[in-house]
Structure 1
Amino acid sequence: MLLLGVRIGVALGLVGIGGLALVIGTEPALIKAGVVVIEVLTKYELGTLPLFLLMAQLFFAADASRDLFDAAAKFLGHRRGGLAYAAVAGCAGFGTINGSSLATAATVGSVALPEMRKRGYSDALATGSVAAGGTLGQMIPPSGALIVFGIIAEQSIGTLFTAAIIPGITQTLLYMAVIWLVIRFRPDLGPTSERASWGERLRSIARIWDMIILITLVIGGITIGWVSPSEAAAIGATGALIIATIRRRLNLAMLRDAFETTLQTSGLILLVIIGALIFSVFVSVTGLTDALGDAVRSMHLGSFATLVLITLFLLLLGSVLDGLALMLLTTPILLPIVVDAGMTPIWFGIFITRAMEIGFVHPPLGMNLYVIQGVAKDVSINKIFKGVLPFLASDFVHLLILILLPATVLWLPDLVSQ
């Protein structure tokens, strides 16, 4: 159905209802599907999603991406490859207020790419750094993907956000390490720019201090436990509304567009969640997860080999499936196997989000790559693929770190819960 172009939520829901009808009968299948719909629509935690989406839309209208990149460029631009570092830092900053890989790549790319190309940066390095940096939008909280996973897997969204902080930081540092290595061997790919004065640097910080304070309150409040994710989302949306007002960007047209986009995206994600949960019930009723778990245990692979096998499976599917489709299709099947291998659902939530991100820059689908080509229309897709390859290699290293050192995910939530 996905290959025929059917929307992911509809495809999952129809297959789930059809499968349940075959296994338990038509009437029980329809009743169960109705129960799932009511349970989803009455989940208090689901209010987190539209509020964070509204916050992102308001920040977008306030030109946050330009201000964040400009601040990073003022501090790093005078170094070799400095604007590429700034692009990754800008993506990380915008990821804290956006939560979407595609939107992060598009908005930061529209600001960063013209600057880098104007200053003589290689097209491959410029496009590769922004395409890879865009994936930070899904990992750094608040993340729409983590909210969806938390609802599907019935895990704490606040704990998932806390668990994502260190992987988000290490992912950012790995991308910067890639830029450092590339520039070390090919200094001509990222020439230096003029050094900004401390006055210019401080003025660039002054333009984003309000966003920094709000994001610190939102993410810090969730991490420390002062507020729930839903309360933090309400604070974030209200704060973004105030910031847009102070910056004189708020008007009826902008507000209408922000609400319209938020409602459209929220409705789409709601449909996807409902379809995924119906599909999950069907998978559970068939006993597929138990059968697969028994099959994996019978191979006596051990925890590490099992997780590597799951990684290869996710990367294979991620090269041809949309990221959200990958998460929704595989979570009901793989989560019990991962738990049986000794990992927690929280760890798997971060891990599958990370694998999903790689799909955004992994040929042949690689949606971020095509988004970047839409921004830099005269750069060939082959050159963008070439530019993202070193960053793709660091993504595989990061997945290996998450497998070998699960404490990178679990340490901070454990520390906060004490």
Structure 2
Amino acid sequence: MYATPETGLIGLLILFALLLSGVPIGVALGLVGVGGLVVTLGMEPALIKTGVVLTETLTRYELGTLPLFMLMAHLFFSANASRDLFDAAAKLLGHRRGGLAYASIAGCAGFGAINGSSLATTATVGLVALPEMRSRGYSPSLATGTLAAGGTLGQMVPPSGALIVFGIIAEQSIGKLFTATLIPAATQIAFYIGVIWLLTRWRPDIAPATERAPWGERIKALGRIADMIALLFLVLGGIVLGWFSPSEASSIGTAGALAITAWRGRLTRDVLYTAFSETLRTSGLIFCVIIGAMVFSVFISVSGLTEAVGNGVTGLGLGTVPTLLLVALLLLLLGSVLDGLALMLLTTPILLPVVQSVGMSPIWFGIFLTRAMEIGFVHPPLGMNLYVIQGVAKDIPLSRIFRGVLPFLGSDLVHLLLLILFPAMAMWLPGVLGQ
């Protein structure tokens, strides 16, 4: 009797209220999901269904991918990965006008591939790059805007934690998601580099050129990151070419990170303890969120809200592009007030059927959703990356950081539009590789 779209809508509003009041994402999703199932199915069926979802989720083979990639990231962090990556990029590009800003984008992309977290990428690369740029006379607005925007690459460059979570929730191939994101990630990097190029040509004083590093120093800096880059190419190349599954790749990556950390003389008991404890803490949090999201998704499906929204949108007869523009607008509005992971978990069960109803692939939607989620990290009023950067540079006003990121935010919106107009940006490479 209560399994109606109205019940699902009420559950959605309660979830919004809980999230905005500060209740942890996983707890809020789980409470609303279980409560909604009790209302729609009854107490005993709801508890049975929740137990089934819990068991099926925790026994999924690909769930082991996430903690292994996270352990790999923590080990690389102990090996000074962020400093070495930025230093190599700075030695190669620093002598050009805006070179340290280019190096920051390259450092964010490299560390994002290792870490897979936007906030962690922004914080770690920012700690290294921001003092360097400011000491060389770079405008604080350009420096902070570059790092805030570059930090979002942590979610787009594989192996991405956001794409792993989406693959588990939407029951899609994580390997195919990693392959599909390669071209959007590369074009996003190109857009950011283009923004820096335009800004430094318009106002050369905001990013003065510095002296050229000798080739000996460049080769030495590249040598310090050669082992990490080789491991990343092995892990990602193996997934893309089908040599091994994402779960196997994460095992290879972790073993390689252990070997590299030991080779560099940093594999101590304290390093291992910190890496394991941080991995367990974060993995436990994310597993809680995933389980809550799966239960919430079942409730939304049982209530009929998903089908009602899909029928409503289809009934408008807008066509593919207008429908996707409407979805993009909704994601950007929600992303301005919700945390990125909350946005993904909240909207996937509702919007995925809508996107599929206009002929788009779930893999494409995973890339599109992650891209929209990234924009939320630099989109006011939440813009978590902007607050992270202010934490690194407390003397720079938040208003100046917001102004610095605006050109990059404009390029993000154009990039998101291109994903809508040219879905092949995400779908061409998996198709070519036969995935």
TM-score tier (shorter): over 0.9
Cα distance per residue 1:16-68 (max 9 Å; x no partner)? 11111111101111111111111111010000000000000000000000000
Looking at structure 2, the residues matched to 207 and 230 of structure 1 have their Cα atoms a distance apart, in angstroms, of 27
- Residue in structure 2 matched with residue 118 of structure 1 by the alignment: 135
Report 1:264-413 matches (<5 A). 264-413=281-430
- How many residues are paired up? 418
Aligned partner of 1:79 among 96, 114, 121? 96
Looking at structure 1, the residues matched to 240 and 68 of structure 2 have their Cα atoms a distance apart, in angstroms, of 18
Moved over 2 A (4+): none
Looking at structure 2, the residues matched to 372 and 9 of structure 1 have their Cα atoms a distance apart, in angstroms, of 26
- Residue in structure 2 matched with residue 166 of structure 1 by the alignment: 183
Cα distance per residue 1:354-401 (max 9 Å; x no partner)? 000000000110000000011111111101000000000000011011
Unaligned stretches of 5+ residues in structure 2 = 1-17
Looking at structure 2, the residues matched to 146 and 55 of structure 1 have their Cα atoms a distance apart, in angstroms, of 17
Looking at structure 1, the residues matched to 312 and 57 of structure 2 have their Cα atoms a distance apart, in angstroms, of 32
Looking at structure 2, the residues matched to 203 and 248 of structure 1 have their Cα atoms a distance apart, in angstroms, of 18
Other structure's SS at 1:417 match: coil
Q: Which residue identity lines up with residue 23 of structure 2 in the other structure?
A: V
- Residue in structure 2 matched with residue 213 of structure 1 by the alignment: 230
Q: Following TM superposition, by how much is the alpha carbon of 1:298 offset from its aligned partner in structure 2, in angstroms?
A: 1.3
Structure 2 residue 143 is the aligned partner of structure 1 residue 133: no
Looking at structure 1, the residues matched to 272 and 211 of structure 2 have their Cα atoms a distance apart, in angstroms, of 38
Unaligned stretches of 5+ residues in structure 1 = none
Looking at structure 1, the residues matched to 359 and 20 of structure 2 have their Cα atoms a distance apart, in angstroms, of 34
Looking at structure 2, the residues matched to 398 and 341 of structure 1 have their Cα atoms a distance apart, in angstroms, of 21
- Residue in structure 2 matched with residue 90 of structure 1 by the alignment: 107
Q: Following TM superposition, by how much is the alpha carbon of 1:299 offset from its aligned partner in structure 2, in angstroms?
A: 1.0
- Residue in structure 1 matched with residue 76 of structure 2 by the alignment: 59
Cα distance per residue 1:105-152 (max 9 Å; x no partner)? 000000000000000000000000000000000000000000000000
Aligned partner of 2:221 among 204, 210, 220? 204
Q: Following TM superposition, by how much is the alpha carbon of 1:341 offset from its aligned partner in structure 2, in angstroms?
A: 1.1
Looking at structure 1, the residues matched to 397 and 49 of structure 2 have their Cα atoms a distance apart, in angstroms, of 49
Cα distance per residue 1:274-327 (max 9 Å; x no partner)? 000000000000111111111111111110000000000000000000000000
Looking at structure 2, the residues matched to 90 and 149 of structure 1 have their Cα atoms a distance apart, in angstroms, of 25
Other structure's SS at 1:207 match: helix
Q: Following TM superposition, by how much is the alpha carbon of 1:161 offset from its aligned partner in structure 2, in angstroms?
A: 0.4
Aligned partner of 1:189 among 197, 206, 222? 206
RMSD of aligned alpha carbons:
0.6
- Residue in structure 1 matched with residue 276 of structure 2 by the alignment: 259
- Residue in structure 2 matched with residue 43 of structure 1 by the alignment: 60
Structure 2 residue 258 is the aligned partner of structure 1 residue 241: yes
Other structure's SS at 2:380 match: coil
Cα distance per residue 1:249-296 (max 9 Å; x no partner)? 110001000000000000000000000000000000011111111111
Moved more, 32-41 or 213-222: 32-41
Looking at structure 2, the residues matched to 162 and 316 of structure 1 have their Cα atoms a distance apart, in angstroms, of 28
Aligned partner of 1:179 among 193, 196, 210? 196
Looking at structure 1, the residues matched to 73 and 203 of structure 2 have their Cα atoms a distance apart, in angstroms, of 37
- Residue in structure 2 matched with residue 224 of structure 1 by the alignment: 241
How high is the TM-score relative to the length of structure 1?
0.99
Q: Which residue identity lines up with residue 47 of structure 1 in the other structure?
A: G
Counting aligned pairs with the same residue, the percent is 71
Q: Following TM superposition, by how much is the alpha carbon of 1:3 offset from its aligned partner in structure 2, in angstroms?
A: 1.8
Q: Which residue identity lines up with residue 404 of structure 1 in the other structure?
A: L
Looking at structure 2, the residues matched to 9 and 411 of structure 1 have their Cα atoms a distance apart, in angstroms, of 34
Aligned partner of 2:164 among 147, 151, 155? 147
- Residue in structure 1 matched with residue 22 of structure 2 by the alignment: 5
Looking at structure 1, the residues matched to 107 and 212 of structure 2 have their Cα atoms a distance apart, in angstroms, of 18
Other structure's SS at 1:363 match: coil
Looking at structure 2, the residues matched to 26 and 188 of structure 1 have their Cα atoms a distance apart, in angstroms, of 67
Q: Which residue identity lines up with residue 125 of structure 1 in the other structure?
A: L
Cα distance per residue 1:224-266 (max 9 Å; x no partner)? 0000000000000010000000001110001000000000000
Looking at structure 1, the residues matched to 159 and 182 of structure 2 have their Cα atoms a distance apart, in angstroms, of 10
